[in-house]
Structure 1
Amino acid sequence: MQQFKPLTSLRLFLALWVLCRHWFHAYGAEGTLFDIGFTSTWFDHGYLGVDGFFILSGFILAYNYDPAPGKTISWKRFIVARIARIYPVYLVCLFAFALAVIARDLLLHTHNLGTGGYTAPTFLREMLMLGAWRYAGESGWNDVDWSVSAEWFAYVFFPLFLLVAPRLSRARILLAGGMALAALAVVEATSPDHLSLSGGLARLVPEFLLGVLLCRLREAMPRHEGFRAGGMLSLCVCSLGISLGLDVLFVAGSAGLVFCLSYHKDALTRVLSLRSLVFLGEVSYCIYIVQRIPQYMFEFARGKVAAVATLPGIVQAALLLALTVGIAIVLHLAVEKPMRVYINRRIGGKMPLAKTLANT
């Protein structure tokens, strides 16, 4: 099974962009987590990293699991493979976060349990990955896991996404892609802050479908080998969307970037195929899902240790980044990889090993 190394590396930059949003965006009176002496609209738009993930996920899963015409997908094996991919680390982080919240409230006597989304029903929904199965809504305990819950929706209904995505006809594929972007434009136009609305399916459904359509478009263009400037042009569209405050334009550029990087001739592929970047791209899911735990640990230490609090903001951010990536690598090696192999072997049945271990 082919691994798209540039797309794997792209996941790393999307995850780090989300971190930039959480660390350097001013949230009302609270200000930024770190004062590095300047702000940037790129930091403020870091939430769009999630939108890039949704498109990328739709493309990769369609490429790896879309059955040939006339055949059907093995839904059971697909679901088992997806559970093996996302659930072990998801569950570890959720329980670790819950234990940290409970310990904080018991030790510091803050008594915040039952408020701010920290309720037993919310925890149960998150544990079942159902928290984001709605148009939009507030997150609960580990707030970043809403996107994983939304992805779980796409996995459960993956055959329907394949069913509605036209095949072979470029015109129909492009028309369907335009309709997906139009639906997303309606979401952006009716949301209070573009696409940075609270977690739910409003962003997932059109963007995941867009990723599936990109795969179908690639299938409909078997002789097309891409062109070297495609990735750079797509990045320019992304930048224009951010500059103009048009998130849908960024999404369109992201779709073009995913499509172009799936070919080997793009100018960016050599850089994004570096082994270190590919490895960190494989760790990117852990970086994303665990980010709140080291962040709150660091905030607690900063409030208790004056030597940490007096460090320049850029140094504090670098220390937290190192801590986050370090914890994520441990999770990847100790939980994500071995549990993926174990679950696929125990439950996945006769599924080919290449497919159970696919980095998707």
Structure 2
Amino acid sequence: MRGVAALFVVYRHYSEMFGPIRTQFSYLAVDLFFLLSGFVLALRYDVAGAARMPSREPLIRRAIRLYPLYLLGIVLSLGLLDFDEMLPSDFRIAVVTGLMMLPSPTAGSSPSIVPLMQSGWSLFFELFVANTLFAIMRGRLSTRWLLAIVACAGLALLTADAILGSLDIGSTWPTFVGGFPRTLFPFFTGMALQRLHENATRRRSIPSWVIVLILVLLLLPSIPGPVGRFYEIACVFAAFPALVHFGSSAFKKRPAIGRALGDMSYALYAIHVPLVLFFGTLARRQAWQPGIPLTIVLISLLAALALLVVRVYDEPLRAWINRRRHDAAIHS
């Protein structure tokens, strides 16, 4: 599910330059990422076996998981993209804050809260908001309080949608505040779904390809007007949680495919923006008109590159960092 959602995000940024086939609701893939993150972190750390772990440990592990590929995305942006439209002082600020995975107060030059990496906004909310709160509350939240948080965050998200006119919020300074409920509602919903999954006595198993197919069909439509507004709310509040609930018990006939999609998903999300924008700039200069075949080839190559990056850069680097932490703990 995560890999398919990442492919939709890549196509969204690609189609913004080339069209004409656009996926109106592909931005909802980010909401699914938050939902899956809450489920997986609860599955790993919000259990009795992890109760003795220091509160900061899940946050440190999450930072080690997210930062290497985020840093690679920043480096690719600096190497491939042109930031001449930014004021020199704003660019320097954007570099410093970007390297720290923090929002850049550079609204005068760019509406994006992370100008050097368009997808970096969600990683800020993931690590510094959702994961930090999870580390603080882990093991201390009763199910009743967890559901209360989900309800409050959901109400805040509906309010943000009513004020801002969409759930595509949080990535720019005008919609920055809306990023908090957009992150917290699906994240804590994912935690609640994990508890429901853990306590279920009977689990209905569905083929994983059915879950993935439904996800694709949910992200494909183009629905204008008020009906489209209702559709995105229905996806975030009902359809996506249902998919995660049933998907957590799904069975896979070809697990290697699902594993590869999952492995490449975050890498693809982290590095695709500078590569897509660089290709777009090159295509404009050469007056190319990419059609569907070239689009499929390009996105397939990006997915393969993302998987390669995971194998030769991300996994070895994270393994080295964890070995150093282990050695330091032994000698401390």
State the TM-score, normalizing by the size of structure 2.
Answer: 0.79
**Which position in structure 1 is the counterpart of 2:175?**
none
| Alignment pair present for 1:121 and 2:98 | no
Q: Distance in 1 between matches of 2:212 and 2:73?
A: 38
Q: Distance in 2 between matches of 1:182 and 1:235?
A: 26
**Which position in structure 2 is the counterpart of 1:188?**
161
Question: Which residue identity is paired with 2:126?
Answer: E
| Alignment pair present for 1:257 and 2:235 | no
| Alignment pair present for 1:210 and 2:189 | yes
Alpha-carbon distance, 1:173 to partner: 5.7
Q: Distance in 2 between matches of 1:316 and 1:240?
A: 20
| Alignment pair present for 1:296 and 2:269 | no
Q: CA distance change for structure 1 residues 14 and 305 in 2, over 3 Å: closer, same or farther?
A: same
CA contact (8 A) 1:54 1:207 kept: yes
Most deviating of 321-330 and 334-343: 321-330
Match of 2:142 among 166, 177, 196: 166
Alpha-carbon distance, 1:164 to partner: 6.8
- Aligned 1:220-239 pairs, distance under 5 A: 220-221=199-200, 223-226=201-204, 228=206, 235=214
Q: Distance in 2 between matches of 1:98 and 1:240?
A: 32
Q: Distance in 1 between matches of 2:313 and 2:286?
A: 31
Alpha-carbon distance, 1:87 to partner: 0.9
Q: Distance in 2 between matches of 1:142 and 1:183?
A: 27
The one-character-per-residue Cα deviations of 1:52-74 (angstroms, maximum 9, x if unpaired) are 00000010001001132993442
Match of 1:286 among 233, 244, 267: 267
Question: Which residue identity is paired with 1:254?
Answer: F
CA contact (8 A) 2:206 2:249 kept: no
Question: Which residue identity is paired with 1:129?
Answer: M
Q: CA distance change for structure 1 residues 258 and 242 in 2, over 3 Å: closer, same or farther?
A: farther
Match of 1:62 among 5, 24, 42: 42
Q: CA RMSD in A?
A: 3.5
Q: Distance in 2 between matches of 1:254 and 1:132?
A: 31
The one-character-per-residue Cα deviations of 1:215-247 (angstroms, maximum 9, x if unpaired) are 1222333x1313549976994995799853222
**Which position in structure 2 is the counterpart of 1:337?**
315
Q: Distance in 2 between matches of 1:277 and 1:270?
A: 8
Gap runs ≥5 in structure 2: 106-110, 173-178
CA contact (8 A) 1:97 1:293 kept: yes
**Which position in structure 1 is the counterpart of 2:79?**
99
Q: Distance in 1 between matches of 2:51 and 2:308?
A: 40
Q: Distance in 2 between matches of 1:302 and 1:81?
A: 39
| Alignment pair present for 1:347 and 2:325 | yes
Q: CA distance change for structure 1 residues 201 and 313 in 2, over 3 Å: closer, same or farther?
A: same
Match of 1:46 among 5, 26, 36: 26
**Which position in structure 1 is the counterpart of 2:176?**
none
Q: Distance in 2 between matches of 1:72 and 1:130?
A: 30
**Which position in structure 2 is the counterpart of 1:149?**
124
Q: CA distance change for structure 1 residues 166 and 238 in 2, over 3 Å: closer, same or farther?
A: farther
Alpha-carbon distance, 1:303 to partner: 3.0
CA contact (8 A) 1:298 1:320 kept: no
The one-character-per-residue Cα deviations of 1:154-175 (angstroms, maximum 9, x if unpaired) are 22232334367433x6xx7656
**Which position in structure 1 is the counterpart of 2:11?**
20
Q: Distance in 1 between matches of 2:190 and 2:28?
A: 15
CA contact (8 A) 2:39 2:191 kept: yes
Q: Distance in 2 between matches of 1:342 and 1:75?
A: 23
CA contact (8 A) 2:46 2:138 kept: yes
- Aligned 1:321-336 pairs, distance under 5 A: 321-336=299-314
State the TM-score, normalizing by the size of structure 1.
Answer: 0.74
Question: Which residue identity is paired with 1:85?
Answer: R
Q: Secondary structure at the match of 1:143?
A: coil
Question: Which residue identity is paired with 1:340?
Answer: R
Q: Secondary structure at the match of 2:119?
A: helix
Q: Distance in 1 between matches of 2:68 and 2:36?
A: 21
Question: Which residue identity is paired with 1:214?
Answer: L
CA contact (8 A) 2:35 2:188 kept: yes
Percent identity between the two aligned chains: 24
Most deviating of 340-349 and 228-237: 228-237
CA contact (8 A) 2:122 2:171 kept: no
| Structure holding more helix per residue | 2
CA contact (8 A) 2:72 2:271 kept: no
Q: CA distance change for structure 1 residues 16 and 186 in 2, over 3 Å: closer, same or farther?
A: same
CA contact (8 A) 1:89 1:336 kept: yes
Question: Which residue identity is paired with 2:17?
Answer: L
Q: CA distance change for structure 1 residues 202 and 118 in 2, over 3 Å: closer, same or farther?
A: farther
Most deviating of 318-327 and 66-75: 66-75
